[in-house]
Amino acid sequence: MNIVNKKLRLSDFKAYISSFNFSPLNPTKIVLHHTWRPTVDQWKGQRSINGLKSFYEGKGWSAGPHLFIGPDGVWLFTPMNQTGIHASEGNYK
């Protein structure tokens, strides 16, 4: 599984997406979902991202969510111009 694996502050994320080439998956909506683990208290930044990557790989998935919003910033996960496999019809629009 290829992940971006980069943490951004909100201001940096806004700048990142303002110039991001979403093609061919130009978004028409946002799908917001959450995970029950790790909790905010359990969040360990990079260690948590590595664990989430392993979790999705263990499911046999080639991708996962595009972003994780953690207490320490916005984590880029599956590239936003690639199809995710976690949100049904929300993955391709």
Please answer whether residues 88 and 31 qualify as being in contact, where contact means their C-beta atoms are separated by less than 8 angstroms. Answer: no
Length of the chain: 93
pLDDT of residue 25: 80
3-23 per-position pLDDT tens digit = 999 999 999 999 999 999 998
Whether the per-residue pLDDT at 85 is higher than 60: the answer is yes
pLDDT of residue 67: 93
Residue 40's alpha-carbon distances to 5, 15, 19, 43, 92, in angstroms, are: 19, 26, 30, 5, 29
Span 16-34, mean pLDDT? 86
Each residue of 67-92: b (16+ CB within 10 Å) or e? bbebeebbbbbbbbeeebebeeeebe
pLDDT of residue 87: 66
Alpha helices in the chain (DSSP H): 10-18, 46-58
Top-confidence residue, 37 or 32 = 37
Whether the per-residue pLDDT at 27 is higher than 80: the answer is yes
Top-confidence residue, 20 or 32 = 20
The ranges assigned to domains in the chain are 6-91
The vertex-31 CA angle with 13 and 60, nearest 5°, equals 95
